[in-house]
Structure 1
Amino acid sequence: MKEYKDCRNPVLPANLYIPDPEAHVMPDGRVYVYGSWDQEDNIYCSKEYRVFSSGNMVDWTDHGLSFDASRVPWVYDNNAPKYPGVDWSKPTPFLKKMIEKDTKDGKLEFPKFPDDFLFAPDAISKNGKYYLYFCTASSTEGVAIADHPEGPFDHSVQLPCGGIDPAVFIDDDGQAYYYWGQFYAHAAKLKDNMVEFEEGSIVNNIVTEEDHFFHEGSSLRKRGDTYYFVYSSMVRGKPTSLAYATSKSPIGPFLYRGVIVDNDGCDPQSWNNHGSIEEVNGQWYVFYHRSSQNKQQKRRLCIEPIFFHEDGTIQEVPMTSQGAGRPFVINERIEAFRACQLSGSVYSAPSTDGYEVLTGIQDGDQAAYRYVEWEGPVNEVCIEALGSGEIHIILDDEEEATGIVVMEDGQIISSSFAGSLGKHEVKLRFSKVYHLEIQALSFR
């Protein structure tokens, strides 16, 4: 196990790419996050899962490998049952756009995944056991069992459905439900053994692209007497937002209610989102991911506190750098890759000298950090960087810069800054750039 202290967004070290986070408070009182693992450079996910947990939402434990594709015996078994996944013969409006965009000589071209790649999982506790629900690139779905929330999970059982993105929910009466699907979400009741569907219990199309902007990534929670179905949404043209629909029943009908968080702008290539909501120590949070390295992949776990209105709707929250932790304070080093909003060509990626930096910077690009909180006036800003350029420091919604730092060959040539006490969003706006890479910033 490894321990990570005082974590902000992205939550985990910069070399850990854990997307599709499903978070559950388990019987030991800790919150556990189950997600995919982007280990390749140009393809989603991998053949392994790992699990992370926290008791306070800021200090995290890495439990290491929890499950891998070698424990899925049916993937390469030609005699294993086959179940239909997405019906490509009946395209949704978004799927039609995909076909028009990606068709070559009348054929769809999609990334080719090994059949045993593991896509987004979910997990739950029941009767002293822990159940990990998973799916593979071959559109099969299954469940594995463990004695501990972090695994290792084994004894895999294939489930009678095909598709991606499983989700599991246990209602107050002990009845468990299973959800899955892309473009159309489906549900079924699980038997008490948690590895079989109840006969005749499948309900199709409980949430759809047409009625709910549903793309993929089902996730269900209950608050009071209301069921919240959280999912990757097409409402803003591409699936960068996590939206939600509500119902008085775990199988619907569901009413579309809005967006919880949108990761558009976390990276120039940002494409999808997938996550969950969970109440931890009396506070609700949204768990989601952001891409990095100017790719759709290399997605990272992020967390934001969320807040409910009196009518049960959820206030949309912006992406932040502080996440579930505290704002950054005076004299604290802010690593550059914690920028929560990027515009232009700038993106975060490892550099040749081992740092995680903002790179690809061009004139007019901007990077935002939410939030800093200063107990008194701030008179100096320090930028750690390579290359040359002017960095304009802008606070909150101001149009004019509060300060400017001039860099030449990685050295500060001149610097001016005057920031007031209180909580602020900090934006860096770049000009006169020449091979500029930003490693960190701090205020004094």
Structure 2
Amino acid sequence: MHLAFFRYKELVMKQVFNPYLPLHEYIPDGEPHVFGDRVYIFGSHDREGGYTFCMDDYVVYSAPVDDLTDWRYEGVSYRACQDPDYPKDHASEAQDLAVDTGNQVDRDLQKGQRADLTAVKKYMYAPDVVQGNDGRYYLYYCMGGDYGEGGYTGPISVAVSDRPEGKYQFLGHVRNKDGSTMMKYVCFDPAAMNDDGVIRIYYGTQYGFEDQSDYPDNPEYIASEMAMFGRSKEEILSYPDSIMGPVMLTLEDDMLTVKEEARHIIPCKVKGTSFEEHPFFEGSSMRKVGDKYYFIYSSWQNHELCYATSKYPDRDFSFGGTIVSNGDIGYEGRKDQDKLNMTGTTHGSIVKVKDQWYVFYHRLTHKSDYSRQSCAEKIYIEEDGSINQVEVTSCGLNKGPLLALNNTFPAPICCNLTNGYMPHGSNTVFDMAFPNVTNLGDDRFVGEIEDGTLIGYKYFNLEGVSAIEIKCRYEDDNNKVKPSGPIRLDERCFNDIKRIEEEKDRYGTDRLSWYDEDSSLDKPYFAIKTSIEGNEIGRVILSEEKSSKLKEDSLVWKSFKGNLDCNGLTNTALYLVYHGKKRLQFKELSFL
């Protein structure tokens, strides 16, 4: 555990904020489960500043159900090299191949060809854990390679442990009744459920080809499916409905053998159904609330967790709504172009801890889709079973707003971070500049803050606070964060980037509703507000940068203080708006 995290825990005792795990930890795709008197989070494991998804082995954190401020690191639960499909003799060669040929992989997929990387499955993707009828714990996962290559071509692997936190040992692959490996539909993102003794596995992905009017006659669709799924044209067309979409099967008590064959749980063709605006993409998860089943999934919007409900575990689901978006898109009518963060893949589920329901999801950092951090929010299931969309916050699992007085908080717990022109990531590492959570060694901070950047925190109790202190530094070539791996731009981001560049050139800060320039002040400063378009309650003026060519000078953090008018603000958002010509890095904020 990093000392910096303990420092913040000591300064902010008995409070918890988003992300709720240490800032050096990256556990996306989180499946929360209560086992005994603790809540466990099982997820993928991204690397800080990594160049692709899920580069590290599984680790587990847990917390007492009566104290969600006290998350404990349980250690490594399972290693990728324990899977028999792990390429022990070719890992280094495969990594070099991924770096050298990432763009070629994209071109091969566009042509419908099998990319070489599909066979190099060295990372473990989104897992889930379920307690079997024998009392043991079973881990379900799939393997994939760089940038997800090969993630749709393999089986569902299973590992077992006597304890939820592990250590897990490889058990086998989900198999058919004849002992052969089960490969029906697309084995991806498995979720597990013990439904009163019935073991259900949900999995799948969907790209929506079947809804196109020229499917299956258009050869490009079939070629894409062949490339992604590693299947022949004949096999793909042999499915009476589709090889894609979310499916469910049941298992025997051995937790490996298929008992009931996989079948779709929602329509493959969504046009004209309740799923049309929010089609399933990936991230299946199932929960049972009373006598109703809740299917949680990541939609094709790719920034939101949605839900659907049914009286049955395997059919008749109706779309319910969005639970959370990592850009707050849809919350109180917010449009995509007004997103409050960089958006991108999210994956998670819901859990009831004592009397409160929560949704666990993830956010993006490092200007990429490959360093994702787990966050959580309180949700409320209404009497009619509906769940209203919740906003992303900084206080998350905390019992209420964060107590600010005499406390110091890391800047990266911001829940809103935007320059007004934030991109949507899709399997991408961006090289264009925009504000982002990042790190340089053990320093974790918000970087590339430019004129007009809005940094938001929800929510604080500012009772007794009279001043705020900000620790920051100017960004230059000596402290600027550079990607550890190759820049990768997915073709799905091209149009978004073009739009952003055109709009930024045309409008600049003029379109920022939160930006009110004080032309009488020639020094950079932070305007402090309690609403995006509200008036200032304070201002922190920064000193001018003194030019220096010494690297050590660029690494020094400096503190600046300003007074706040906080009368009666016991549950408030706090927004920092930067005004300045030079880019900034922001490490922490303290309340006095």
**Which of 184, 197, 202 is equivalent to 2:258?**
197
Counterpart CA distance in 2 for 1:75 and 1:198 is: 28
Contact 2:469/2:560 (8 A) holds in 1: no
Q: What corresponds to 2:519 in structure 1?
A: none
Asked if 1:341 corresponds to 2:416, the answer is yes
Q: Please give the per-residue CA displacement for 1:364-398, whole angstroms capped at 9, x wherever unaligned.
A: 1111101101334x321111111383111110354
Q: What corresponds to 1:95 in structure 2?
A: none
Instruction: Report the CA distance shift for 1:18/1:108 in structure 2 as closer, same or farther (over 3 A).
Output: farther
Contact 2:55/2:123 (8 A) holds in 1: yes
> Residues 304-343 of structure 1 correspond to what in structure 2 (within 5 A)?
304-325=377-398, 326-329=400-403, 330-343=405-418
Asked if 1:29 corresponds to 2:37, the answer is yes
Instruction: Report the CA distance shift for 1:165/1:406 in structure 2 as closer, same or farther (over 3 A).
Output: same
**Which of 369, 377, 381 is equivalent to 2:468?**
381
Instruction: Report the CA distance shift for 1:192/1:374 in structure 2 as closer, same or farther (over 3 A).
Output: same
Counterpart CA distance in 2 for 1:263 and 1:14 is: 18
Compute the displacement of 1:412 (Å): 6.0
- Which one has a larger percent helix, Structure 1 or Structure 2? 2
The size of the alignment, in residue pairs, is 412
Report percent identity of matched pairs: 33
Q: Residue type of the partner of 1:432? A: G
Contact 2:142/2:188 (8 A) holds in 1: yes
Q: Residue type of the partner of 1:37? A: H
Asked if 1:396 corresponds to 2:531, the answer is yes
Counterpart CA distance in 2 for 1:283 and 1:308 is: 10
- Which one has a larger percent strand, Structure 1 or Structure 2? 1
Compute the displacement of 1:403 (Å): 1.3
Compute the displacement of 1:214 (Å): 0.6
Q: Residue type of the partner of 2:348? A: G
Q: Residue type of the partner of 1:118? A: M
Q: Over aligned residue pairs, what C-alpha RMSD do you find? A: 2.6
In the superposition, the TM-score normalised over structure 1's length comes to 0.86
Contact 2:453/2:577 (8 A) holds in 1: yes
SS, match of residue 369 in structure 1: strand
Compute the displacement of 1:108 (Å): 6.3
Q: Please give the per-residue CA displacement for 1:328-363, whole angstroms capped at 9, x wherever unaligned.
A: 2212112100001111221111136x4211110111
SS, match of residue 266 in structure 2: strand
**Which of 200, 203, 209 is equivalent to 1:180?**
203
**Which of 150, 155, 168 is equivalent to 1:153?**
168
Asked if 1:65 corresponds to 2:76, the answer is yes
Compute the displacement of 1:125 (Å): 1.0
Counterpart CA distance in 2 for 1:359 and 1:117 is: 29
Asked if 1:427 corresponds to 2:582, the answer is no
Compute the displacement of 1:103 (Å): 5.8
**Which of 27, 38, 46 is equivalent to 2:55?**
46
Asked if 1:132 corresponds to 2:139, the answer is yes
Compute the displacement of 1:75 (Å): 5.2
Counterpart CA distance in 2 for 1:389 and 1:107 is: 51
Q: Please give the per-residue CA displacement for 1:194-223, whole angstroms capped at 9, x wherever unaligned.
A: 221114x32125365725311100000011
Q: Please give the per-residue CA displacement for 1:167-190, whole angstroms capped at 9, x wherever unaligned.
A: 011113x11110001111010011
Contact 1:403/1:416 (8 A) holds in 2: yes
Counterpart CA distance in 2 for 1:51 and 1:207 is: 34
Q: What corresponds to 1:273 in structure 2?
A: 346
Contact 1:260/1:317 (8 A) holds in 2: yes
Q: Residue type of the partner of 1:143? A: V
Structure 2: gaps (5+ residues): 10-14, 89-105, 145-149, 175-181, 207-244, 329-338, 420-433, 475-522, 546-556
Compute the displacement of 1:111 (Å): 11
Instruction: Report the CA distance shift for 1:105/1:197 in structure 2 as closer, same or farther (over 3 A).
Output: closer
> Residues 98-177 of structure 1 correspond to what in structure 2 (within 5 A)?
106-107=110-111, 114-126=120-132, 127-137=134-144, 138=150, 139-159=154-174, 160-161=182-183, 162-172=186-196, 174-177=197-200
In the superposition, the TM-score normalised over structure 2's length comes to 0.65
Instruction: Report the CA distance shift for 1:414/1:124 in structure 2 as closer, same or farther (over 3 A).
Output: closer
Contact 2:46/2:56 (8 A) holds in 1: no
SS, match of residue 542 in structure 2: strand
Q: What corresponds to 2:356 in structure 1?
A: 283
Contact 1:7/1:60 (8 A) holds in 2: no
Counterpart CA distance in 2 for 1:191 and 1:312 is: 31
